[in-house]
Chains A and B, each alone.
Chain A
Amino acid sequence: MTIEVKNLVKIFGSFKALDGVDLKVESGELLALLGPSGSGKTTLLRIIAGLDWPDAGEVSFNGEDALAQGARERHVGFVFQHYALFRHMSVFENVAFGLRVQPRAVRKDEATIRARVKELLDLVQLDWLADRYPSQLSGGQRQRIALARALAIEPRILLLDEPFGALDAKVRKELRKWLRSLHHEINVTSIFVTHDQEEALEVANRVVVMDKGRIEQIGSPDDVYETPATAFVHGFIGESIELPVQVEAGVVRLGDRPLRLAADGLAPGASKLFVRRHDMLVGPPGSGAFEGAVQHVRNCGPVQRAEVALSGGETIEIDAPRDRELRAGDTIGLNPRRYRIFAG
């Protein structure tokens, strides 16, 4: 099932939640919508599910107009952020719900429904919880039951809203791996919303980065990390150092200090320089593009995180390997291994 979204606009009061979104999702993809809160990613997901209606634009499934159908007819599996399990029903009945409410003409008999629910509970590895109630489950278990319930109707598309948002870090990591292997197994076109870049990069085949109701970049996890298309994407994904610079006549300046950085093909004017924290290589003074004094050093697992006051006046944080120890007061040279400059 392919999904195509064209020029989608959604306005809540004076707030533009979606501001002209175009997106094509290929059949069998596992796509992540990544962005900060308020970027419109959940609104986009809800419109695809039929739980919200756009003010303008088109949504089509396999070329068919999806907006002509209500949520009920779209056969879309939706997993809610807080699971929305039916609290008065057992786990079994929760999963069976979608099968029991089918029109009488197509409804399966009780034995078939039971077998199907059993199969789904096996799939999410929770068959032993069938008689429990949602309140008796852990967060990770609720999440998997919500997924089993959504899969019961054999959805054409699976949509997940912040699927791991309410879980603790360890469970989240386990479920990520599990979701990826489950997707591999059932191969349903899936979209999930997340504000966690690590989650998006680790789980998805493709990542859509959104901000302020617009799509900033669509690409593979490698694309969005290695070659961010916009300043926003660079700042949002990975831990970046952002410096305001001036580009004039092929020279990049930080304050009044020219940096030894290539400025080929850059438009002159105020720009932003982005470097990943771990891409700032430490060298002796005078060896790099930047000069600075180490203010403060902390060890963060495999790296040491140093606060460096640049001679241009800015203070930045860098992650340096721990093989050469930095000390507060050291004067060092810094050379970006990789960097990008965006106009504006």
Chain B
Amino acid sequence: MTMQIADSVSLSSPEAKARAHAAAARNNLRTEPRAVRVTIISLAIAFLTVFVVMPLVLVFAQAFSKGIMAYITALAEPEALAAIKLTLLVAAISVTLNLVFGLVAAWAIAKFDFPGKTFLITLIDLPFSVSPVISGLVFVLLFGAQGYFRSWLRDHDIQILFAVPGIALATTFVTFPFVARALIPLMQEQGTQEEEAAISLGASGLQTFFRVTLPNIKWGVLYGVLLCNARAMGEFGAVSVVSGHIRGETNTMPLLVEILYDEYQFVAAFAIASLLAMLALITLVAKTVLERRLDGGEDRDH
């Protein structure tokens, strides 16, 4: 574009010449020829279409393939409603636990020096590096029929495996890095000076946390909670191991999708899947907004 404009203006005045030179210089910065640029961009778009856009469209197409009524009926099934309710409950539990844990861990790591700090940071990342199936199996080993706590659990009549506590525990384990990971770099960058200032001005520990620390990290907290929630609702592997697949009781949405699909109930399977896909889309939009806020926050620091 710039090239064409430069060509079309008369080069008589020195000003116009200068402008033409500037335009040419701008063009020269983009060294690749037009053909290369077009090829690279088309490749990227084609790849995204096949691997991301088409599956997403397909989920919704399949879900609505028998019309909107069939879609609503599928979602209104007691089994589906139970799965949605269970997923929301488990997500609420694990997000709450991980919010508290993440804040405490990030606070400890960013604001204090103590022996074993590096080890703790590595440990926080552990759930990211092990397969979710293993995470699930660990809880079977701990609480199962042959597990370490089996007699104590039996004596106190507590059911963990194949019940809500087990699913919540496995989900919490798998999602626990999210909040801490979002907060550690943010809090490390912000340092401890504002907290020190607050304390020297007479604020108590709690006042310092709620008036100074928390407002400074609120967008980071939201970001971590958002990603944690998305993963908690979508977790399959770990939950599959500990849930026992009791229909209407211990099936979360991802588990139900698999069961329905195996039973050739495609509309029902994709209807549930479409809810998860929508969750992903909402998460994506919210994530973009939050990332902008976080960047903006950084700009304001300096």
Contact = CB atoms under 8 A, between A and B. Distances in A.
B197 A84 contact: yes
A56 B302 CA distance: 38
Interface string A137-153: 00000000000011011
B150 to A, nearest CB: 48
A72 B202 contact: yes
Contacts of B302: 135
A77 B211 CA distance: 19
B300 A98 contact: no
A72 B199 contact: yes
B301 interface: yes
A49 to B, nearest CB: 6
Given A86-B194, A86-B212, A97 B201 contact: yes
Given A133-B300, A135-B300, A101 B203 contact: yes
B62 interface: no
A80 B193 contact: yes
Contact of A50 (B200, B216, B299): B200
Interface in A99-143: 101-102, 133, 135
B211 A101 contact: yes
A230 to B, nearest CB: 33
Contacts of B216: 87-88
Contacts of B203: 72, 97, 101
Q: Pick from B211, B299, B302 the residue with the most CB of A within 10 Å.
A: B211
B193 A71 contact: no
A51 B198 contact: no
Interface in B202-219: 202-204, 207, 211-212, 215-216
Interface in A56-81: 70-72, 74-78, 80
B196 interface: yes
Contacts of A133: 300
A84 B201 contact: no
A268 B46 CA distance: 87
A71 B197 contact: no
B201 A98 contact: yes
Contacts of A152: 201
Interface string B285-302: 000000000000001111
B301 A84 contact: no
A80 B192 CA distance: 11
Contacts of A82: 193
B207 A78 contact: no
Nearest to A73: B202
Contacts of A74: 200
A236 B201 CA distance: 35
Contacts of A102: 202
B193 A76 contact: no
Contacts of B301: 87, 135
Contacts of B194: 84-87
A87 B196 contact: no
Contacts of B197: 78, 80, 84-86, 149
Contacts of A80: 193, 196-197
B196 A101 contact: no
A49 B200 contact: yes
A76 B200 contact: yes
A88 B215 contact: yes
Interface in B171-227: 193-194, 196-204, 207, 211-212, 215-216
Contact of A51 (B200, B207, B211, B212): B200
Nearest to B197: A84
Nearest to B301: A87
B198 A101 contact: yes
A172 B262 CA distance: 75
B193 A87 contact: no
A312 B286 CA distance: 75
A18 to B, nearest CB: 19
A49 B215 CA distance: 25
Contact of B200 (A71, A86, A87): A71
B196 A51 contact: yes
Interface in A145-198: 149-150, 152-153
A75 B300 CA distance: 30
Nearest to B194: A84
Contacts of B207: 101
Contacts of A149: 197, 201
Given A72-B204, A77-B200, A98-B202, 10 more contacts: A50-B200, A51-B199, A78-B197, A78-B200, A87-B216, A97-B203, A101-B201, A135-B301, A135-B302, A152-B201
11 contacts: A71-B196, A80-B196, A84-B197, A85-B194, A87-B216, A87-B301, A98-B202, A101-B202, A149-B197, A153-B201, A153-B202
Interface of A: 49-51, 70-72, 74-78, 80, 82, 84-88, 97-98, 101-102, 133, 135, 149-150, 152-153
